[in-house]
Structure 1
């Protein structure tokens, strides 16, 4: 059996002692209000009667709070504090059903120095932020690493076709188009500012590392791919960031660089 907290025992003893004194004082006032002296002083008798009743009711309410309310409030606050601590440790900054809202893409891409892209093809994302990507690719102090599924790996293509409910030829076409897109983003001069990797790893989410943050979007697993999906942003120093960083670096270490 766990040892009892002596400070809690002292606090509880003081509480019940004061409650008992208040309760007895209330009973005493109620009794005294009916005696002869208070009958001769009706206004004081009424005051004593009401004060005695108030003390008894207050003790009853305080007891109910101690037995039920205080403990419920304590566990509710403890749960909230634990959740806050978990969020702080994870480094989670924002969550939404729209990946465009979990981070200010324009602001972060315009000032980024390092961008990692881990996705199947992310055509919509590329179209939305094409101007920012072009500006980033043109800067000498910036670098973009792109990790894509390998269009020449038959099993990888087959699994992607199943996941996205597409034909295998369509998957290869999209992957090759994405590779050519990032080459053109570098204006095909092989500046070294853009690196393209391919691997057999099948994506179960898309991840974008912008300097010291990761933005991650999940995928549908249902037949119909309509509707929004959860997205999150996490900062460097948190457990989520470390997980996605290690995951990405692990895939890159087993990938083949095809450009430059």
Structure 2
């Protein structure tokens, strides 16, 4: 028996109404068979149908009370727990294509602060080169890029293994990335574009655009083809806090390369 007095009262009312409805339904079924109702067939048929409907309704209500409501309640609890978890994490979108989990054109078009944590992100950089250059041209903007150190032998070796490239090819890609990000402010050294290098191993690619993080994971199969999980999380959530702390920790241990 529940200790909630309001729930007890509600349950007692429910059972009282059910019992009364059942009794009334049985009475309708009983009287519909009396002689008077036989001489008034229409009324007798109506009484019989009303009685049957009330008895059937009580039976269905009892099944709902004993089985259906509890199952529905458990299902709703699971949905609410998931909703609370998503809200606590600050998760806005998730999928298997980082180009679609966020409207990049809108995000980059209005951005003032941009952090890039990637191996090189050549495709992403080339796709949004003009937008990135516009961000770097704004006097109140800041673009920070954190790349693997092309002079770190262990770092280059790990990247070569991950991406199935030669070490020389990896160094070339990293040097190309450094030059590409320098071009965002015309290599003027304005301070609005900062490039850092570190030996931290990349387990994911992350972009912080103002108050959101867009993160794309890596897979571990031999082929680089195929989709990978990607997510977008907003400031204030536990996911954002993790990626923010992780990025700042890497930047603290990085070497500033530009300007």
Give the TM-score range, shorter chain.
over 0.9
Distance 1:111 1:42 in 2: 77
Match of residue 77 from structure 1:
76
Structure 2: tracts of 5 or more residues without a match: none
Distance 1:215 1:7 in 2: 47
Q: CA deviation at 1:40?
A: 4.1
Match of residue 230 from structure 1:
229
Distance 1:196 1:120 in 2: 13
Match of residue 205 from structure 1:
204
Distance 1:201 1:86 in 2: 30
Distance 1:31 1:7 in 2: 36
Match of residue 158 from structure 2:
159
| Greater than 4 Å deviation, 4+ residue runs | none
Match of residue 247 from structure 1:
246
Secondary structure of the corresponding residue to residue 203 of structure 1:
coil
Following superposition of structure 1 onto structure 2, how do residues 1-260 of structure 1 map, counting pairs within 5 Å? 4-260=3-259
Q: CA deviation at 1:118?
A: 0.2
Structure 2 vs 1, CA of residues 45 and 3 (structure 1 numbering), >3 Å: closer, same or farther?
closer
Q: CA deviation at 1:69?
A: 2.0
Q: Structure 1 stretch 62-71 or stretch 28-37: which is displaced more?
A: 28-37
For normalisation by structure 2, the TM-score amounts to 0.93
Distance 1:57 1:211 in 2: 60
Distance 1:98 1:221 in 2: 17
Alignment RMSD (CA, Å):
1.8
Q: CA deviation at 1:3?
A: 6.0
Secondary structure of the corresponding residue to residue 140 of structure 1:
coil
Secondary structure of the corresponding residue to residue 120 of structure 2:
coil
Distance 1:184 1:51 in 2: 82
Secondary structure of the corresponding residue to residue 80 of structure 2:
helix
8 Å CA contact 2:90–2:233 kept in 1: the answer is yes
Secondary structure of the corresponding residue to residue 94 of structure 1:
strand
Residues 15-70 of structure 1, C-alpha deviation per residue, up to 9 Å, x if partnerless? 11211111122222222222334344443333322222111111111111212222
